[in-house]
Amino acid sequence: MQVPGAADFDAQLELDFTAPAHDPHRFRRPIELRVGTVRRRHVQAVLESDRIVVTHPPRMSESEARRIGEELRVRLERRIAADEIDLEARARKLARRYGLPRPASIAWSDRQQRLWGTCTSDGVIRISGRLAELPGFVLDAVIVHELAHLVHLDHGTEFDTLVRRYPKTDLATGYLMALDHHGFDRHEA
């Protein structure tokens, strides 16, 4: 019998918002594997109170189900963390405090694997969902960075002066550098 590989299954996410919002063990919750019925074709991850229940097709090996379940856990926890953050309110507050323009819109993006933030010339800001799990000052530094791009699209001296209005810019830059070496965004030289 041929055991299907991961490519044969679609990953599927379902959220259960009955879980407490500020669970101290909110990240790296334990995974519980369950074998689905013969009709199940997808791996599904559902948050159930303090754990993530991963139901997999019966023909899938346990190690493969656990590997996919782990990927789903990361995405699920990232989404939960992002839902707890009011990005628009945060950007408004930072813009007011540091004398920067407000964006036309600001939203999370799951597609940004390499960039922490992006900003278009018409003021549309996208923030990587990965930031939802990081300390708040790192998220704020990226928001301030993108807000400053509403004034200067390059990373010149004047831009630098703007982002340094936020006192933890250097600290956040160091934090992100330690995570990976990608810059804040595509405007990075």
| Residues at the site binding Zn ion, with contacts judged by CB under 5 A | 184-185, 187
**Nearest 5°: CA angle at 161, between 155 and 164?**
100
- Best CA proximity match to 131, nearest among 146, 145, 141: 141
Nearer to Zn ion, 78 or 187 (CB): 187
Shortest reach from residue 29's CB to Zn ion, in Å: 34
Nearer to Zn ion, 140 or 185 (CB): 185
Nearer to Zn ion, 64 or 185 (CB): 185
Beta strands in the chain, from DSSP E residues, in sequence order: 11-14, 31-35, 43-48, 51-56, 105-109, 117-119, 124-128
**Nearest 5°: CA angle at 140, between 135 and 142?**
105
Q: Specify the 3-state DSSP secondary structure of 67.
A: helix
Nearer to Zn ion, 79 or 165 (CB): 165
Shortest reach from residue 81's CB to Zn ion, in Å: 23
Shortest reach from residue 159's CB to Zn ion, in Å: 8
Nearer to Zn ion, 82 or 142 (CB): 142
φ, ψ (nearest 5 deg) of residue 162 = -65, -50
Amino acid identity at 117: G
Residue nearest to Zn ion (CB): 187
Nearer to Zn ion, 73 or 187 (CB): 187
User: Residue for token digits 């519980």?
Assistant: 32
Shortest reach from residue 137's CB to Zn ion, in Å: 17
φ, ψ (nearest 5 deg) of residue 134 = -90, 165
Q: Are 45 and 76 in contact, with CB atoms under 8 Å apart?
A: yes
Shortest reach from residue 134's CB to Zn ion, in Å: 17
Shortest reach from residue 117's CB to Zn ion, in Å: 7
**What does the block give as tokens for 110?**
């799951």
